[in-house]
Structure 1
């Protein structure tokens, strides 16, 4: 995947924040149905909590984020175990189908730390043409205490950010 010069209409680099929850799957589906075009690159950006890792790939990439991980390796449990990631079958099916049907390249980039800061870092490091993020629909009190990741990213990322809200149903 070539990052330089891909912010035009062909070969855009579209990021989706994924944590393998129903909320992130909804954002992923929305992105594929409404935003992704043939020839685009889809980057699944996931942020894991910081920790003290003694083995595996996490220790190597904690400061800068992982290298771009191709879809074939994202689907490999052994490879993902090295990064401490367990993608769910539904997310893997969604991206595999989109890759085949839309002719897109799908990769994953893993960061460790505060999701708000690391998602903004992903925009700059990749660089992303745009980012789609799900909104868990926290109530006013929880949002005030915990802070809204999506709100922070919308206000601080250096690219367009789309927030896909979870319905109240």
Structure 2
């Protein structure tokens, strides 16, 4: 009797330094840690579920001057955002295909901590893996951390992967 693979959701985001299609340091770390420490050589025993949450621009106009935005501008932004998100996820999916790990990937929009917890409730993975940027106490108060929120509110076990000291940029907000 063959059992169902263990389903691990990995929340991923883009690098604020390099931009798309580069995954953030934290996302790459969470993914690589999951492969090395959990999946190991048991590729058929796991299914990775990649969730990328795109954060809406504060005014909704990205780099477009809101006074001159047209309906075509909005259509172009939506197409560009979708393409960027898909390209980001493609990197993780390709790696899984190379090593023979089943996977799924999808994009949602909104507040990452809220969306991740909602998706955990909807999809019901066995485990959630998130990266941590390592914000200091001052930044944590104002920014809040996705990993801390998920650890408290996700309806499954959560593993938070910290960045290695040599991977941290000068400003922890940069990732």
Both proteins in one fold, TM over 0.5: yes
Which residue among 40, 51, 56 is the counterpart of 1:50? 56
Is 1:38 aligned to residue 43 of structure 2?
Answer: yes
| Distance in 1 of aligned mates of 2:43 and 2:80 | 27
Tell me the number of residue pairs that the alignment of Structure 1 and Structure 2 aligns: 139
Is 1:13 aligned to residue 7 of structure 2?
Answer: yes
8 Å CA contact 1:80–1:86 kept in 2: the answer is: no
Residue 114 of structure 1: CA displacement?
Answer: 0.6
Residue 31 of structure 1: CA displacement?
Answer: 0.7
CA deviation vs aligned residue, 1:125-151 (integer Å, no higher than 9, x gap) = 222111100000011100111111100
Report the secondary structure of 2:85's partner residue: coil
Structure 2 equivalent of residue 130 of structure 1: 127
Q: 1:9 to 1:143 in 2, by over 3 A?
A: farther
Q: Structure 1, unaligned stretches of length 5 or more? A: 1-7, 59-78
Structure 2 equivalent of residue 68 of structure 1: none
Q: Structure 2, unaligned stretches of length 5 or more? A: 14-22, 62-73, 167-175
TM-score (norm 2): 0.68
Residue 157 of structure 1: CA displacement?
Answer: 0.2
Is 1:147 aligned to residue 141 of structure 2?
Answer: no
Residue 50 of structure 1: CA displacement?
Answer: 2.8
Flag as ranges the 4+ runs of structure 1 deviating above 6 A: none
| Distance in 2 of aligned mates of 1:80 and 1:106 | 24
Residue 108 of structure 1: CA displacement?
Answer: 1.0
8 Å CA contact 2:11–2:51 kept in 1: the answer is: yes
Map 1:13-162 → 2, pairs under 5 A: 13-19=7-13, 20-36=23-39, 37-39=42-44, 40-50=46-56, 54-55=74-75, 82-85=82-85, 87-88=87-88, 92=91, 95-101=93-99, 103-162=100-159
8 Å CA contact 2:96–2:102 kept in 1: the answer is: no
Greater fraction of residues in helix: 2
Q: 1:80 to 1:13 in 2, by over 3 A?
A: farther
CA RMSD of aligned residues (A): 2.9
Residue 113 of structure 1: CA displacement?
Answer: 0.5
Structure 1 equivalent of residue 16 of structure 2: none
TM-score (norm 1): 0.70
